[in-house]
Structure 1
């Protein structure tokens, strides 16, 4: 079972970070009972993990999941740990087409981190999961948890538009509920600063994509201040023209 967990590391689906337990692991019966070739591979993975640990932010290193043969509260059995690690990371989005395309483009722009995420997406280590709108986010995550029928919450990140109309606007009740739900279940949440993903499009892209009939309102949009552009309702604004 431990061999299969480490195989996920070798395949690149996860990274293992070790602080000071390397010597104990290398001297364990598990490693000693491996074949010479297998032991060499495992040892290499473990040694690389020690080198990598220093680059991990402390707040990330403190997010620990304990795997134990004798299970206590908040610990994973070997079987559940393997199932947990073998599942993809789900990015729950409001709209699969537009949000998925936006996030994929971010992978292209931020190549250092995005390259790894793009590979994860291609290898099904990462999966977009559509909710069909902000009002369906909590329901969708509950369904995802129920579908897995496991004694743990799947690895989930929620990606949302802010839908705010001006800078500093307080969260509405819907977003407050989503935030509280995500905290309760240990789910990651990223809310865009700007109103919607469309507000991140440069003026030149909008001009190239929109029909000629929108020129007048687009010209007005281009004269707006950065804050006005960031929180303008592009979809309704152009559709109302």
Structure 2
């Protein structure tokens, strides 16, 4: 995310410390800075109290802005105009300090899928991994589809006492299974998650395949010895489209539970990016794994 700090704020004594708070995020590489007013560095009220490292940061940002033709995502100003992506500096600080939320039906299992994509698609996953390492992303467990709205509302409630509508501060994405049994099935939104996400400016990704387990390639699955071998032979005979909506729990045995054990396979070194892509190339969205990462990156 690229932040612009309106030049007027640098000449308001009450905002000097607040500007430093924003710049600390830039210095820590959490966000990038759009800066096009070089005079501010030496002639503003802020410059009289500024730390040397922040002045150097502004010089670097000024050069990068001119050379890179950057566009900012939000601007911090004296007043809010959220429709134009403008925040007062006070509300902007709340927004920028907030974690990015990834809401999952089951964080224990589904997070393995997300972390696997981050690991296998290193270029698109690099920034996401950095945010995870710094704890700037929080993965939320919703306890199934029925708990998604309640969990998002719980996070939204933490902003109820702030001046803007609470959803204005929340950057989040809901990622959930389609639970479709056949390719041509329509998604059953019995919980009203789609309109809820629209109303609260939450990104939503419904998996094209049935569940996360359906994204595992056959060559990885067939190496597991404790699966139901009769079911596995039947599974191998299915078309790619049929495998996408197969109930993987049918492969479970007394000694191996696919629901519990399959998700960790996304973290195995043996699983390669090429294998994931091959397993998705027939889909309506053959680039779905990259699309999921792009959506998360758009929040950072």
Please, what TM-score do these two structures have when normalized by structure 2? Answer: 0.67
* Residue equivalent to 2:220: 205
Note if contact 2:26-2:33 (Cα within 8 Å) is conserved in structure 1: yes
Note if contact 2:34-2:61 (Cα within 8 Å) is conserved in structure 1: no
Note if contact 2:181-2:246 (Cα within 8 Å) is conserved in structure 1: yes
* Residue equivalent to 2:154: 143
Counterparts in 2 of 1:73 and 1:86: CA distance versus 1, 3 Å = closer
Shift of 1:25: 5.9
Counterparts in 2 of 1:189 and 1:28: CA distance versus 1, 3 Å = farther
Matches within 5 A, 1:1-241: 1-17=18-34, 21-22=36-37, 29=44, 32-33=47-48, 34=50, 37-52=53-68, 64-71=73-80, 75-149=86-160, 150=162, 151=164, 152-153=166-167, 154-174=170-190, 177-209=192-224, 211-212=226-227, 214-235=228-249, 237-239=250-252
Note if contact 2:214-2:243 (Cα within 8 Å) is conserved in structure 1: yes
Aligned structure 1 segments of 4 or more residues deviating by more than 6 angstroms: none
**Equivalent pairs, count:** 229
Shift of 1:29: 2.4
Give RMSD over aligned pairs: 2.7
Unaligned runs of 5+ in 1: none
The structure showing larger relative contact order (alpha-carbon pairs under 8 Å, at least 6 residues apart) is: 2
Shift of 1:97: 1.1
Secondary structure at 2:29 match in 1: coil
Mapped to 2, the partners of 1:125 and 1:216 lie a distance apart of 45
Counterparts in 2 of 1:82 and 1:96: CA distance versus 1, 3 Å = same
Note if contact 2:174-2:205 (Cα within 8 Å) is conserved in structure 1: yes
Give per-residue Cα distances to partners, 1:11-34, cap 9 Å, x unaligned.
Answer: 11122356xx45576687256444
Give per-residue Cα distances to partners, 1:96-128, cap 9 Å, x unaligned.
Answer: 111111111101111012122111101101110
Mapped to 1, the partners of 2:106 and 2:189 lie a distance apart of 21
Shift of 1:216: 0.7
Note if contact 1:71-1:77 (Cα within 8 Å) is conserved in structure 2: yes
Mapped to 2, the partners of 1:187 and 1:16 lie a distance apart of 24
Please, what TM-score do these two structures have when normalized by structure 1? Answer: 0.82
Counterparts in 2 of 1:2 and 1:230: CA distance versus 1, 3 Å = same
Mapped to 1, the partners of 2:140 and 2:62 lie a distance apart of 33
Shift of 1:35: 5.3
Give per-residue Cα distances to partners, 1:176-220, cap 9 Å, x unaligned.
Answer: x212111111111111111100001111222233615x0110111
